[in-house]
Amino acid sequence: MANIYKPELVKVIATRQQTPDVKSVKVCFQDSGRANDFAFRVGQFGIFSAFGYGESTFNICSSSNWKDYLEFCFRKVGRVTEALWRLEEGDVIGFRGPYGNGYPVEDWKGKNLIFLGGGIAMPPIRCAIWYALENRRDFGDITIVYGARTVADLVYVDELDQWAQHPNVRVVRCVDPGGQTPDWKGEIGFVPHVFDRAGGSSANSIVLVIGPPIMIKNTLPILDRMGIPHRAVYTSLENRMKCGCGKCGRCNVGAFYICKEGPVLTMEDLERLPSDY
Amino acid sequence: MSFTITQDGLSKLVNEWLARGKRVAGPSRVKRDCILYVPLQGPDQLLLEDFIRPANSLKEFLFPKHERLFGYRINGNGVELFELEPPKTEQLLIAARPCDAAALPILDQVFNWDCADEFYNRRRQLTTVVTLACSAHDDACFCTSVGLSPCAERGSDVMLVKLDRGKYEVRCHTEKGRSLMEGRLEPSDQVASEPLGPEKRFDPAEVREFVKHNFASAFWQSEGLTCLGCGACAYTCPTCHCFDIIDEGNANEGARVRNWDSCQFSMFTQHASGHNPRENQPARQRQRISHKFDIYPEKFGEILCTGCGNCTRNCPVGIGALSVLTEIGHGEHL
Ligand SMILES: Cc1cc2nc3c(=O)[nH]c(=O)nc-3n(C[C@H](O)[C@H](O)[C@H](O)COP(=O)(O)OP(=O)(O)OC[C@H]3O[C@@H](n4cnc5c(N)ncnc54)[C@H](O)[C@@H]3O)c2cc1C
Ligand code: SF4
Ligand code: FES
């Protein structure tokens, strides 16, 4: 019987503690045939399970060009994430997916890209950044502004340096006021303000902004001032999910099922929906 | 000219199914004041007349309250997943209310858009639905407002319509229904009169217009404030289908299960960050009505409600969809 709720088994090949409460995990399919067939789009998500504890939804934060493994990165907040926190190399977990629409990267060709992320919102942006760098000729200038509450809360910090090495890529890192350490060399301030101060070209840009609702809210007026239309501004929603396939009735915003028609949508789309997110 | 069956004929049918190890479920008085659809041990438990409708719905026979999706076993680093009890028992749902049967084609769409839920589909294939046209209704019934009636055919394989006490006209709607009734019917000159339904109470198109344009209306506040968030409305609804998925077991073995859930529960949409898009009962009531009269229609072209009135009868604080819907219809929100 085809069982849409039964996950595939994946083996943990590496884990890494990113911050005091964030870890990233690399997994590969136990079935090597499946590992070769598996394809996804950056921006899609998976439902990961720790057997005995349950399932959790995370973005796939590795690039779709990487064939050896899938990566996800999570914050420890509850039952399932506590269990995943204890994972070690060689452990086996469950994976269902990929689900959701993903970023329309084909439509972004020829554009400048602006990535704005706050805190744990880095993973869903990271996959798009790597994808863009790996297809560098398809895109114009790349601006990345990434911030967290404190220096210790920044994830994938070493990659920020790697990204900055690429031509025409500007990486601005920041922490909230009070979150800096004595040797902090980045900016101090909230992501929207830091982005505003950093300036830069706005023409022909696509913006991907992911973070807490307040960050997105404060970013929009700046984008408006820059003249970036809301149809060029993308975000990814994190409504609570269970089934991932439009059945459990949990993730909808109006008639928009985030698990199927999202999680990625433009601000223009979002403004048409009831404010139920 | 019609075909009929007697109560004795129905009893015989029930006995035959049970004798073959199949399941039969129908309305039964489980306590003095409580009539439910339950699996029957024998035909004497089947209640055919003198009540409005069971307090639950048929959905639990296709989409159980608690269902094991697969099992897991862990040995060292290895994990084994295995199928558990895929549905395989044929079942007869007998003396079902037309408003319960009509919910099944509606649920079919949810469990099959995009990807197919084989747990639901298998049960559906194994199910034959015998409806009994309603000969009475109460103040909570509103099937006629949502395009149905006391003898609506939707979802019914065969319908019984009362002629005299203990005698029913039989109307076969599907092949399943015809083969079920083969050899059991008597020809008769009597034809049952169409039972009268409740008066129309509201227009679903108006409700839809209202919910589309009144997301922020104070109307929801006044409706939702008394709601206890108990979920009785959703659990007894023939069409509500939200579920939760959790693991039951320990670190060595167990099962992944799904349980009914409800948009009326406070944790239903709570994010891990603590942010909750639907923070209070008014927002949750709005979701329930919007889902039924706007969201589902937009997705599937029909209403997610069959007018059974269960949410109204079972609500401990007298809310229920009907009062909300009639208030919208009467412009009381304005
Ligand atoms: C599309 C999508 C992508 C996502 N991507 C990521 C990602 O890349 N990284 C990431 O870290 N997260 C991501 N999330 C969020 C992630 O799914 C949740 O953080 C995760 O599922 C939490 O699981 P948990 O079982 O550990 O928490 P749960 O045990 O479900 O608890 C989470 C929190 O909910 C509250 N809670 C739950 N149950 C109760 C209760 N009974 N009583 C009181 N409070 C309760 C508590 O505040 C608790 O801390 C994503 C979500 C979506 C929908
Ligand atoms: S039955 Fe009544 S009180 Fe309970 S959740 Fe539904 S509307 Fe609220
Ligand atoms: S997660 Fe179940 S409907 Fe979207």
Provide the pLDDT for residue A169.
Answer: 92
Average pLDDT, chain B: 93
| Domain finish residue from A219, A236, A253 | A236
Q: Do A52 and B115 touch (CB under 8 A)?
A: no
CB A145 within 8 A of CB A195: yes
Tell whether A94 is covered by a domain: yes
Chain A residues closer than 8 Å to B254 by CB: 51-52
Q: Give me A91's structure tokens.
A: 């452990």
> What is the 8-class DSSP label of residue B145?
G
CATH of the domain at A79: 2.40.30.10
* Residue B110 with chain A: CB contacts under 8 Å: 246-247
Closest CA to B136 of B101, B97, B192, B164: B97
Residues 6+ apart with CB under 8 A from A23: A15, A16, A17, A73, A74, A76, A84, A85
Average pLDDT over residues B87-105: 96
Cis ω before A98 (30° cut-off from 0): yes
Whether residue A115 contacts residue A128, with contact meaning beta carbons closer than 8 Å, is answered with yes
Which ligand is the nearest neighbour of the Cα of A53? 1
Partner residue opposite A3 with nearest CB, options B118, B263, B290: B118
Q: Is residue A152 part of a domain?
A: yes
Nearest to A6 among B69, B78, B283 (CB): B69
Query: Is residue B332 pLDDT above 80, yes or no?
Result: no
Residues in chain B closer than 8 A to A249 (CB atoms):
241-243, 261, 263, 291
Residues of A in contact with B280 (CB under 8 A): none
Tokens of B293: 């009269």
Residue A96 sits at the chain B interface (C-beta within 8 Å): no
Tell which atom from ligand 2 comes closest to the C-alpha of B320: 7
Distance CA A230, CA A268 (A): 5
Which atom of ligand 3 is found nearest the CA of A241?
A: 1
Q: Is the pLDDT of residue B286 over 70?
A: yes
Percent share of chain A, pLDDT over 90:
83
User: What residue type is A235 in one-letter code?
Assistant: T
Torsional sign, CA A219, A220, A226, A230: positive
User: Can you give the pLDDT at residue A276?
Assistant: 79
Kindly report each contact of residues B80-83 with a partner whose C-beta sits within 8 Å and lies 24 or more positions away, as own/partner: B81/A6, B81/A7, B81/A9, B81/A94, B83/A1, B83/A3, B83/A6
Asked if residue A30 belongs to a domain, the reply is yes
> What average pLDDT does the segment B25-54 reach?
95
Of A123, A139, A113, A21, whose CA–CA distance to A62 is shortest?
A123
Length of chain B: 334
d(CA A133, CA B120): 45
> Is B189's pLDDT higher than 80?
yes
pTM exceeding the 0.80 threshold for the entire prediction: yes
Tell me the CA–centroid distance for residue A92 and ligand 1, in Å. 21
Read off the pLDDT of each residue in B81-98 and give the average, rounded to a whole number: 93
Instruction: From A77, A99, A121, give the residue that closes a domain.
Output: A99
Largest CA distance in chain A: 60
Q: Which A-chain residues 3-42 have CB contacts (< 8 A) with chain B?
A: 3-7, 9
A86 with A110, same domain: the answer is no
Number of domains in chain B: 1
Spatial CA neighbour of B231 closest among B263, B268, B279: B263
For B154-184, the three-class secondary structure string (H helix, E strand, C coil) is: CCCCEEEEEEECCEEEEEECCHHHHHHHCCC
Domain that holds residue B233: 2-330
Half-sphere exposure for A141 (CA within 13 Å, toward CB): 11
Nearest-CA residue for atom 10 of ligand 1: A74
Supply the pLDDT for residue A203: 81
- Residue-wise pLDDT for A46-73, tens only, equals 999 999 999 999 999 999 999 899 999 9
Domain count for chain A, please give it: 2
Of B251, B272, B277, the CB nearest to A77: B272
Please indicate, yes or no, whether residues A85 and A111 belong to a single structural domain of this protein.
no
Are B295 and A246 a contacting pair at CB < 8 A?
Answer: no
Dihedral pair phi/psi, residue B38, rounded to 5°: -140, 160
* 3-class SS letters over B302-325: CCCCCCCCHHHHHCCCCCHHHHHH
Is the distance from the beta carbon of residue A78 to the nearest atom of ligand 1 less than 6 Å?
A: yes
DSSP chain A: ---TTPPEEEEEEEEEEEETTEEEEEEEESSHHHHHH----TT-EEEEEETTTEEEEEE--S-TT--S-EEEEEE--SHHHHHHHT--TT-EEEEEEEES----GGGGTTSEEEEEEEGGGHHHHHHHHHHHHHTGGG---EEEEEEESSGGG--SHHHHHHHHHSTTEEEEEEE-TT---TT--SEES-HHHHHHHH----TTEEEEEES-HHHHHHHHHHHHHTT--GGGEEEE-----SSSSS-S--SEETTEEHHHH-SEEEHHHHHHS-S--
Task: For chain A, say whether B332 makes contact (Cβ under 8 Å).
Answer: no
**Average pLDDT rounded to a whole number, residues B178-184:** 94
CATH number for the domain spanning A152: value is 3.40.50.80
Residue type, A178: G
Give residue-wise pLDDT tens across range B207-266: 899 999 989 888 888 888 889 999 999 999 999 999 999 999 988 999 999 999 999 999
Whether A269 maps to a domain, the answer reads no
Instruction: Please state, in angstroms and rounded to a whole number, the distance separating the CA atoms of residues B162 and B134.
Output: 9
pLDDT of residue B200 exceeding 60: yes
Q: Report ipTM (2 d.p.).
A: 0.91
pLDDT of residue B331: 64
DSSP B210-271: HHHH-TT-HHHHHHHTT-----HHHHT-SS---EEEEEEE-SSEEEEEEEE--TTSTTTT--
Per-residue pLDDT tens digits for A181-202:
999 999 999 999 998 888 777 7
Classify B149 as helix, strand or coil: coil
Residue B334 has pLDDT above 60, yes or no: no
Last residue of a domain, one of A42, A77, A99: A99
Cβ pair A112, A139 in contact under 8 A:
yes
Q: How confident is the model at residue B272 (pLDDT cuts 50, 70, 90)?
A: confident
Low-confidence stretches of chain A (pLDDT beneath 50): none
Distance from CA of B212 to the nearest CA of A (A): 9
Minimum-distance CB partner of A1 among B79, B118, B268: B118
Q: Which two tokens stand for residue A233?
A: 């501004």
Domain-located, residue A117: yes
Containing structural domain, residue A128:
105-236
Query: What pLDDT does residue B333 have?
Result: 55
Confidence band, pLDDT 50/70/90 cuts, at residue B156? very high
E strand or H helix at B93: strand B91-96
Contact A240 B270 (CB under 8 A): yes
Q: Is A111 in the same domain as A95?
A: no
- Ligand 1 mean position, distance from CA A75 (Å): 9
Q: Which neighbouring-strand residues pair with B160?
A: B132, B170
What is the least distance, in Å, from the CA of B246 to any CA of chain A?
Answer: 5
